[in-house]
Amino acid sequence: MQPPTCVDHLGIAVYSLERARTLYREVLGLVCGGTEEIADQKVRVTWFQAGNLRIELLEPTAEDSPIARFLDKNGPGLHHVAYRVADLPATLAALKSAGVRLIDDAPRAGAHGMRIAFAHPKSTGGVLTEFCQQG
């Protein structure tokens, strides 16, 4: 497959965006790029730019949010690694034919107007892995 062009962002699960912002903004001094709610994922996202890499903080907006389930199981921490790709449908097809288990068989809408899809951590060494394409 065509390799990803870069790591686009890291997703970090937090109980509270408000409390987590203190570390990223006040202590690390990173600039907050904005906040967006992804209704179908029941998650609110705030992101910080660290050079070319975005740090995305993910806060659940409902008890049955995937992030709420992650927090129940693991507590706050690294949730996923997202690779940017040029052709998401082609990447998904290549992953599938390599035997990688996909959570999303087809691209769906993510934050920043990106199209995204997740691969299952059981197929990716225990790391929930997102692939995203701009536009």
Q: Are 102 and 92 in contact (CB under 8 A)?
A: yes
Q: Does 11 bind Co ion (CB under 5 A)?
A: yes
99 vs 126, which CB is nearer to Co ion? Answer: 126
* Residue with Cβ nearer Co ion (59 or 130): 130
* Under rule CB under 5 A, residue 82 binds Co ion: yes
Distance (Å, rounded) from C-alpha 10 to C-alpha 57?
8
Residue 102: both structure tokens together: 């996909």
**Closer Cβ to Co ion, 11 or 76, answer by number:** 11
Task: Confirm if 83 and 102 have CB atoms less than 8 A apart.
Answer: no
Cβ count near 11 (within 10 Å)? 22
In angstroms, the first-to-last Cα distance of the chain is 20
59 contacts Co ion (rule: CB under 5 A): no
Stretch of 25-33, 64-72, 75-83, 90-98 contacting Co ion, by CB under 5 A: 75-83
- Cβ proximity to Co ion: between 28 and 109 the closer is 109
Alpha carbons within 13 angstroms on the beta-carbon side of residue 66 total: 13
Work out whether 130 is an interface residue with Co ion (CB under 5 A).
yes
CB of 133 to Co ion, least distance (A): 12
Instruction: Indicate whether 8 belongs to the interface with Co ion (CB under 5 A).
Output: no
Kindly list the residues in this chain that would bind Co ion in the complex (CB under 5 A). Answer: 11, 82, 130
